[in-house]
A and B are shown apart, each in its own frame.
Chain A
Amino acid sequence: MDKMSKIVGIVDWINGPVVKAVDIHSVEMMELVEIGDDRLIGEIIELDQDRATIQVYESTTGLKPGSYIYGSGIPLSVELGPGLIGNIYDGIQRPLKAISEHSGNFIHKGVKVRPLDGQKKWPFSPAVSEGDQVGAGSILGVVRETPLFEHRILTPVDIEGTVEFIQPEGEYSIDEPIAWIRTLQGSCPVRMVHRWPVRLARPYLRRLMPEEPLITGQRVIDTFFPIAKGGTAGIPGGFGTGKTITQHQLSKWCDADIIVYIGCGERGNEMTGVLMDFPKLMDLKRGRPLMERTILIANTSDMPLAAREASIYTGITIAEYYRDMGYDVALMADSTSRWAEALREISGRLEEMPAEEGFPAYLATRLAKFYERAGRVQTLGGRIGSVSAICAVSPPGGDFSEPVTQHTKRFVRSFWGLNKELASARYFPAIHYMESYSEYLDFVQAWWTRHVDPNWKLLRDEAMQILQQDYKLQRIVKLIGEDALPDAQRLILEGARILKNAFLQQSAFDEVDMYAVPKKQFLMLRAIMHFYHRASEVIRAHIPISRIMQLPVINELNRMKEKIPNGNTDQFDLLFQQIDQCMEELEKESMAIL
């Protein structure tokens, strides 16, 4: 960044991460600047004649009025190229591993380290020949970024023309031109690396319908409240309800090609947990360590606040970059509430008029703009890729009526409401079936019909019915107790109990249970529903419910999640037989009485 030498203004006033400057000249709105002797990184967020307001991404302790401000001529951008995968960055894409080697265990201000390694040689193989016509998004060549991941080097969005020169197969660093393209404006070099402004969505050809489910292996999500590839989901929940565990589970098991995990204002130890676990866990699809498909962005709660605001843009820009190569990317942001609070704090220091609960009035617009960057698209190069955004929300006091949750609800299409009561009974995932919804059900139905079973939706709706009736009945049970209900209604309670214990509840720590393939999910649900239907018949034959509740097969149902492994779905036939057998016995009994 040698361009960073031009003095564009002088610091006048400092209040935490907000700095006001005077004598400002030749800077743009949203331009990246450096401040003072420590060269703190900041961004221009307001211009008023020769005065400017800057939000600073590092601690301003010790910064003095009168210090110089240096311009860069470019907006806040990220560096995109091979080497992103497996890395951990702070909110403005500074590589934390390299920083720790550079300046030790604690993060001090003013550290400048390049996001990508400029020395490393990457194995490149060309995909075009000289004389070929290329346009924005065409693949020029590929790089093995990890042993099984093909990083596609694309023609930049503003270049169209004839390949004049392309490097032969070999190892190159990211800064070496790998191709020259003759355009109408002349010859342009293309490197493996380029910069992109974080606040600008990367272009694509057109949007596609979100038809394919993002399979997560979590039953309550896949079966009850699915999310599609390119979809958006919000996970609101008070503290301790399992937002982070749910997001970790999804980043571990969902069938995306790339995971971008943003720890936005959360705990340092959680990022450490990911850093320690992911290299050891294997990706189900590729059989390689999960870290080889993961990119981490960490702005822990003790790191500078303004960088928290930037972190989710840094994350989604990287996600879009991999989408453009034709991959399915899943972005996890934990938590957007911290991002909103950062907005609020900056807004407060700018003395803007607050709207609800002190949040600025533009909160909803910003949220909408962010969520709309998710989607399933046809890229400029004609490939199909997607960015799915799954974002945690931390409502104060667990109260979903607060502004961030409410606005999030407007822009996401899957809503997984976490419930405190379920969590305190150690019932996980604590996604409450009555508070949650998914608008993707109808979109993904065709996929389930094609790949699993045509009756999937029917069965799912039926199970949902039982849960709904149970929810209503529970209010009565609270007043008069379960025993006072007629047997038919008690069966609904029992059915719902089995659904909750055997199906919805899923252990993140049990080897077998932590991931369930769609086929297993379907068979489990079918087994429970089969039991329920057979039991209804038996009840109609005047067998008391107490007899049904004593059946040992209930225990089998409760334990099938951990007893029947994913591959071994034949065991379900046995379970069906067991159910039929014990029900027949009960029926025989009733015949005998008659």
Chain B
Amino acid sequence: MNISSMNSSLTAGSSSRTAGIGVLGKEYIGVSKVSGPLLFIEGISGIGFDEVVEIRMKNNQVRHGRVLITSRTSALIEVFEGTGGLTISTTRVRFQGQPLKIPVSTDMLGRVFNGLGIPIDGGPPPIYQEKRDVNGAPINPVVRDYPEDFIQTGISTIDCMNTLVRGQKLPIFSGSGLPHNELAAQIVRQARVRGQSEKFVVVFAAMGVKNDVAQMFRQSFEESGVLSRVVMFLNLANDPSIERLVTPRSALTIAEYLAFEHGMHVLVILTDMTNYCEALREISTSKGEVPSRKGYPGYLYSDLASIYERAGRIINCPGSITQIPILTMPNDDITHPIPDLTGYITEGQIVLDRELAKRNIYPPINVLPCLSRLMNDGIGADKTREDHANISNQLYAAYSYVKKVETLASIIGESELSERDKKYLEFGKMFEEEFVRQGQNENRSINQTLDLAWKIAAKLPIEELIRVSEAQIQKYYPKKTEQDEEESCLTD
């Protein structure tokens, strides 16, 4: 079915089949067409765009859906739980007269829900304080407060070179088989705002992830004692794919409630956004829309933005929403529409690298394509240390040169390199082995990280350090003797 077929049937009104108008809206019996995840219904009237519907099957089983296109006599509905088992004549459709809303409450902390906000942990539905539209509303840019509180994750490559700040959206670009989940779990365990003991509240949304991945996260939350401060929304790999379109929105709706009504600092983990985009493509194709790149709909950007932009801080509100979406790049291709459009919306990205992972370096963060756009506002003398920006830039400049030298060395051989280039190679090795590599439970303070950065930068001749100021060299450049000692330790 496509939009045009729906257009042509606009005027083909059939006899009214209104079964009754309940408190919750109008109910109709029978539909005209079922196709893929879509349901087409005719002979109706006054159905609002984006309205939510309840679909009752022959056996009284209930499913949920949403109006995609509406006209005076017909409507096109997407069914979240799939259309399997629906019939043409006996399906009852009840229009709720309002967009999809989920109940929100502080009692949701520590509980597990499906993508639509229905509890699946066996417990009773939480007593809710209010119901909110899952689509949210755009935050007025005027009331946004600029994110600038440094979050220490304890991971050197993030803290020093791609600093996360409170209210930022910083995705992890990964690939299948890379330890992005472990990294996200480590961030959740270790993340602190410097100088504050308060922990984050975590809203975790899983879209099409494997059962044991969800279990891994649960266990990790449990071990670090945050489970009672976590709200989980699970749409697992074997759950209906269309439900994935609502899962992140449900999660962000509760996150907004906790952050902006109750002043909590919320860390939202969305995994895996690739599955979300696949579901979006599925619906778009069923609707017969003109596809843009790789079959994804032309509105993938604005759709993703409506999720990612729901992060941030608001002036005069104590709370904040920090987002860490995770996505697996199909075929490790960063120019694929999903990572590409994500990168255009989010405030930077952390990129995992298969080559580093193969060399058994954890976390396999390749810093060169990484970025944190809000970094400059979260660091500096009063927040971290005055040399932070410069030493980070110095590492970037030097490491990117290392990559050039490595290419050259693979052609002419390492021994043919100039002395300067050899120094760089040595620097590169140490950078990857000591700075990038760290344990899954190793929590480095920002000072430790920055000192380590200087120690590694000192592998280079001092005249190569042009990104740091002379005063900083005076203050932080490791003294020769210490360096020699360490070198001898290394060679041992």
Q: A276 with B146: in contact, given A269-B374, A425-B397 (CB under 8 Å)?
A: yes
C-beta contact mask, B274-304 vs A, less than 8 Å → 1, else 0? 0000000000000001111100011101100
Report chain B residues within 8 Å CB of A293.
Answer: none
Say how far B34's CB is from chain A's closest CB, in angstroms.
20
Interface assignment of B348: CB less than 8 Å from any CB of chain A: yes
Report chain B residues within 8 Å CB of A108.
Answer: 137
Name, among A267, A357, A558, the residue most crowded by chain B CB atoms within 10 Å (CB to CB): A267
Say how far A423's CB is from chain B's closest CB, in angstroms.
8
Q: Check if B49 sits within 8 Å of A301, measured CB to CB.
A: no
Interface assignment of B71: CB less than 8 Å from any CB of chain A: yes
Q: Check if B292 sits within 8 Å of A358, measured CB to CB.
A: yes
Q: Check if B340 sits within 8 Å of A338, measured CB to CB.
A: no
Say how far A254's CB is from chain B's closest CB, in angstroms.
21
Say how far A356's CB is from chain B's closest CB, in angstroms.
10
Q: Give the B interface residue count (CB, 8 A).
A: 90
Q: Check if A106 sits within 8 Å of B3, measured CB to CB.
A: no
Say how far A182's CB is from chain B's closest CB, in angstroms.
44
Say how far A21's CB is from chain B's closest CB, in angstroms.
11
Q: Check if B292 sits within 8 Å of A301, measured CB to CB.
A: no
Say how far B35's CB is from chain A's closest CB, in angstroms.
17
Other-chain contact of A267, B98, B345, B411 (Cβ < 8 Å): B345
Interface residues of A in 289-304 (CB under 8 A from B): 298, 300-303
Q: Check if A64 sits within 8 Å of B141, measured CB to CB.
A: no
A485 to B396, CA, bound (A): 27
Report chain B residues within 8 Å CB of A276.
Answer: 146
A397 to B339, CA, bound (A): 9
Name, among A62, A298, A342, the residue most crowded by chain B CB atoms within 10 Å (CB to CB): A62
A64 to B95, CA, bound (A): 12
Report chain B residues within 8 Å CB of A59.
Answer: 135
A482 to B396, CA, bound (A): 22
Which stretch (B83-91, B222-230, B238-246, B413-421) binds chain A?
B413-421
Report chain A residues within 8 Å CB of B421.
Answer: 481
Interface of B, secondary structure class, is: mixed
Q: Check if A239 sits within 8 Å of B400, measured CB to CB.
A: no
Q: Check if B141 sits within 8 Å of A96, measured CB to CB.
A: yes
Q: Check if B309 sits within 8 Å of A358, measured CB to CB.
A: no
Report chain B residues within 8 Å CB of A345.
Answer: 298-299, 302
Q: Check if B290 sits within 8 Å of A300, measured CB to CB.
A: no
Say how far B414's CB is from chain A's closest CB, in angstroms.
11
A300 to B301, CA, bound (A): 12
Interface assignment of A555: CB less than 8 Å from any CB of chain B: yes
Q: Check if A272 sits within 8 Å of B141, measured CB to CB.
A: yes
Other-chain contact of B371, A240, A272, A349, A398 (Cβ < 8 Å): A240
A562 to B293, CA, bound (A): 45
Interface assignment of B344: CB less than 8 Å from any CB of chain A: yes
Interface residues of B in 130-150 (CB under 8 A from A): 133, 135-147
Interface assignment of B368: CB less than 8 Å from any CB of chain A: yes
Q: Check if B144 sits within 8 Å of A341, measured CB to CB.
A: no
Other-chain contact of B140, A106, A263, A398, A427 (Cβ < 8 Å): A106
Say how far A349's CB is from chain B's closest CB, in angstroms.
8
Quick one: closest B residue to A88, CB to CB?
Answer: B142
Interface assignment of B381: CB less than 8 Å from any CB of chain A: no
C-beta contact mask, B391-421 vs A, less than 8 Å → 1, else 0? 0110011001100100110011000111001
Name, among B260, B290, B340, the residue most crowded by chain A CB atoms within 10 Å (CB to CB): B290
Interface assignment of A123: CB less than 8 Å from any CB of chain B: no
Q: Give the A interface residue count (CB, 8 A).
A: 76
Q: Check if B47 sits within 8 Å of A301, measured CB to CB.
A: no
Interface residues of B in 1-27 (CB under 8 A from A): 3-4, 7, 10
C-beta contact mask, A13-40 vs B, less than 8 Å → 1, else 0? 1111000000000000000000000000
Say how far A12's CB is from chain B's closest CB, in angstroms.
6
Interface assignment of A170: CB less than 8 Å from any CB of chain B: no
Report chain A residues within 8 Å CB of B416.
Answer: 481
Quick one: closest B residue to A298, CB to CB?
Answer: B141
Say how far B274's CB is from chain A's closest CB, in angstroms.
16
Q: Check if A480 sits within 8 Å of B466, measured CB to CB.
A: no
Other-chain contact of A396, B167, B317, B337, B407 (Cβ < 8 Å): B337
Interface assignment of B36: CB less than 8 Å from any CB of chain A: no
Report chain B residues within 8 Å CB of A480.
Answer: 411-412
Q: Check if A13 sits within 8 Å of B299, measured CB to CB.
A: no
Report chain B residues within 8 Å CB of A354.
Answer: 290
Q: Check if B70 sits within 8 Å of A64, measured CB to CB.
A: yes
Q: A398 with B70: in contact, given A425-B396, A482-B418 (CB under 8 Å)?
A: no
Other-chain contact of A65, B71, B99, B334 (Cβ < 8 Å): B71
Q: Check if A344 sits within 8 Å of B260, measured CB to CB.
A: no
Q: Check if B340 sits within 8 Å of A301, measured CB to CB.
A: no
A399 to B337, CA, bound (A): 12
Quick one: closest B residue to A272, CB to CB?
Answer: B144
A53 to B226, CA, bound (A): 52
Say how far B165's CB is from chain A's closest CB, in angstroms.
10
Say how far A565's CB is from chain B's closest CB, in angstroms.
16
Report chain B residues within 8 Å CB of A12.
Answer: 10, 71-72
Q: Check if B396 sits within 8 Å of A301, measured CB to CB.
A: no
Q: Check if A268 sits within 8 Å of B312, measured CB to CB.
A: yes
Report chain B residues within 8 Å CB of A271.
Answer: 141, 144
Other-chain contact of A14, B70, B140, B306, B408 (Cβ < 8 Å): B70
Interface assignment of B445: CB less than 8 Å from any CB of chain A: no
Please give 4 more A-B residue pairs, beta carbons under 8 A apart, in addition to A300-B141, A300-B305, A555-B466: A105-B314, A106-B140, A240-B369, A396-B293
15 CB-based A-B contacts, threshold 8 Å: A12-B72, A13-B72, A61-B133, A104-B140, A240-B343, A268-B141, A269-B374, A302-B306, A305-B302, A338-B301, A341-B298, A344-B292, A396-B293, A397-B335, A558-B466
Ordered nearest first, which 4 A-B pairs have the shortest CB separation? A397-B335, A301-B305, A302-B309, A239-B343
